[in-house]
Chain A
Amino acid sequence: MTTARGISGGSRAAFWTVFAIPAVWMLAFFVVPLSIIWAYSFGRTLGLTEVVVTGTPDNYARVFDPVYLYIFAKSLVFAGATTAICLIIGFPYALVMTFASTRAKILLLLAIMLPFWTNLLVRTYALMAVMRTEGWVNEAFGVIGLGPFEMLHTNFAVVTGLVYVHLPFIVLPLFSTLDRLDRSLIEASLDLGAGHLRTIFQVVIPVVWPGILSAVLLCFIPALGSYLTPDLLGGPDSQMIASVIERQFKRANDWPFGAALSFMLMYLTLAAMAWRALAERRAAVRDLR
């Protein structure tokens, strides 16, 4: 067995040479600023610009104020709904992509990637134009004598926008998982008499389950921290936690509380990742039995 300790002197020098640049980068732009914010979360503001780190837990206590808990809960619901809808749309899409011809595969991939490559602000304003009360969706409804519906500045608009933005985050990892799936498993299921739906639910989904969990996380985490989409598409009651954090750092000028909220969001993210790791561990243990 080879171990990391077995690295010889020469390759150790090479290792540090290669590692130095990313290490310095991570330290300067990730660890240090994050540590400062983390320290701020235990401080309080003094005057207009100054923050003193006093070690007070007050900021975290404030997070548990029902007002903020409500927004956290709401953010979780929005991100959860977004992820669920993304999965319901994205899984069949990725499945179709997996079995499409090379040409169709590229077209389907482009359909997902083109919006992804477009500026988020541009896309969001475009979505606003679509969902406006005088937008073309309502005009189309008007033709058949329905509506107009108030869509913009509602929770519906927020989730729609979030699904639109986060679809690539779920389709791409799902596609890469499904593409690696052994096709003969599907053929074996069909051969043994199963229909396509049964094959998907009893063979494909259980086999690619770890990939589905990864895709879910890749979608859920950025959705949870969304800022622009709820801000522009949402109404007064559809704020997500990122908007509140932004307000603390800007208008409210309360950096310590903003920092505490940020870290609460981070803990939630880490909890989601821990849940994923735990699920994987449990699967591994089950496999060992």
Chain B
Amino acid sequence: MLIRFENVTKRFGSFIAVDNVSLDIAVGEFFSLLGPSGCGKTTLLRMLAGLETPSAGRILIDGVDMAGVPPNRRPVNMVFQSYAVFPHMTVADNVAYGLKIDRVPRAERDSRVAEALALVKLDDFAHRRPDQLSGGQRQRVALARALVKRPKVLLLDEPLSALDAKLRDAMRGELAAIQREVGVTFVMVTHDQDEALAMASRCALMNRGTLQQVASPGDLYEFPANRFVADFIGTINLFEATLAVDETDHAIVRTPALDAPVYLGHGVTGATGAQVWVGIRPEKITMTPADAPRPAGPAAMPHANRTPGTIMTSAYLGAVTLYDIHTSGGTLIKVTAPNGTRSASPALPAGTQVWLHWEPDAPVMLLA
């Protein structure tokens, strides 16, 4: 393991920012620390950089305990949220700053600076001053300045948050491409789940100082560990339920929110009769008109996984349309319907009676 957090806790006075976190990050990963603001993700990153000291626990980089190692002696470099580009130096001087400190000989320094600037496509801006650069260019300077030091780990603190939406999308892909090119381990803090899902090879979702789940973006979305994860990542319809049947190949949960049972095509962990939660993501629900043939449920339980409802509101978003549907069980369910063909009236009007149904592998059962 390249990075290892062992039972790391950080207190600020009586506030516990990071609560007993243990986490391993491997070489070459693009790892993302994700969570709402104040969840402790930035504190965790700053402890890795040496800008904060853990109150308890150990942090190891490449097997070396970082306790007492100041930030300037750690094999990590950081891209700050505000970029922190030195305003009194040219772009090239900013990038060369760390190499001068390391007493890299002039010729090598120049070639490495040129190489780093080429990597972030700032070759033509070497002699500009930071106040002549756009936000996106300044961020590239910060990136080049950190990468030129060839750190074992590159830390990124909300790297895209200060950019406008269009640039953010472009940089997302570019940052991931740069990471693949240089092969350095990236650890990125973000509150933006899209950013984490799009770029990271693995994510740690945090809340109130604790790790909620560490998984690949896909697993985080499709196999959330608890309600917080399910709710934070994307949108989900969550219902309180009771586990009625638990077999090796299927499970059935009943919820007062829906008039039909929910049939899951796999076994679950949980005692029969236990209070659980069942969640279904809006895009995993299919909507059919009420006058069309009634959709059939799973073969083993044809009346499961479907419910009639009435469209309350709709929001046409171009690629998809979002519906809020009032079910006969008295619950509001969010459904997204893809707009697969061009249509003059892409959204069904409010009041339309519809059937909702979903596949046995669409719902997810959560214990907490």
Q: List the interface of chain A (C-beta within 8 A of B).
A: 182, 184-185, 187-195, 198, 202-203, 206-207, 209, 287
A192, B98: Cβ atoms under 8 Å? yes
Complex interface: chain B residues within 8 A of A203 (CB): 86
> Please, how many angstroms separate the alpha-carbon atoms of A192 and B145 in the complex?
8
> Please, how many angstroms separate the alpha-carbon atoms of A203 and B101 in the complex?
13
Q: List the interface of chain B (C-beta within 8 A of A).
A: 49-51, 70-73, 76-78, 80-82, 84, 86-88, 97-98, 101-102, 129, 131, 142, 145-146, 149
Out of A182, A191, A287, name the residue touching B49 (CB < 8 Å).
A191
Complex interface: chain B residues within 8 A of A195 (CB): 72
Closest to A188 in B: B84
B88, A188: Cβ atoms under 8 Å? no
CB-defined A-B contacts under 8 Å, sample of 17? A184-B80, A184-B81, A187-B51, A187-B78, A187-B80, A188-B80, A189-B97, A190-B50, A190-B70, A191-B146, A192-B97, A192-B145, A192-B149, A194-B97, A195-B72, A198-B101, A202-B97
B71, chain A: closest CB distance, angstroms? 4
> Please, how many angstroms separate the alpha-carbon atoms of A187 and B52 in the complex?
11
> Please, how many angstroms separate the alpha-carbon atoms of A188 and B155 in the complex?
12
Complex interface: chain A residues within 8 A of B81 (CB): 184
> Please, how many angstroms separate the alpha-carbon atoms of A195 and B100 in the complex?
12
Closest to A288 in B: B132
> Please, how many angstroms separate the alpha-carbon atoms of A188 and B72 in the complex?
9
B344, chain A: closest CB distance, angstroms? 45
> Please, how many angstroms separate the alpha-carbon atoms of A194 and B81 in the complex?
20
A187, B101: Cβ atoms under 8 Å? no
| With A193-B72, A195-B72, A287-B129 as contacts: A188 and B86 at CB distance below 8 Å | yes
| With A192-B77, A193-B102, A287-B131 as contacts: A187 and B71 at CB distance below 8 Å | yes
B82, A193: Cβ atoms under 8 Å? no
A207, B87: Cβ atoms under 8 Å? yes
| With A184-B82, A187-B71, A287-B131 as contacts: A194 and B88 at CB distance below 8 Å | no
Out of A189, A193, A202, A209, name the residue touching B149 (CB < 8 Å).
A193
Closest to A286 in B: B129
Complex interface: chain A residues within 8 A of B146 (CB): 191-192
A182, B82: Cβ atoms under 8 Å? yes
> Please, how many angstroms separate the alpha-carbon atoms of A192 and B99 in the complex?
8
- The CB with the most chain A CB atoms within 10 A, among B51, B73, B88, is that of B88
Complex interface: chain B residues within 8 A of A187 (CB): 49, 51, 71, 78, 80, 84
Closest to B81 in A: A184
B88, A207: Cβ atoms under 8 Å? yes
Closest to B102 in A: A193
Out of A190, A206, A287, name the residue touching B71 (CB < 8 Å).
A190
> Please, how many angstroms separate the alpha-carbon atoms of A249 and B210 in the complex?
76
Complex interface: chain A residues within 8 A of B82 (CB): 182, 184
B147, chain A: closest CB distance, angstroms? 11
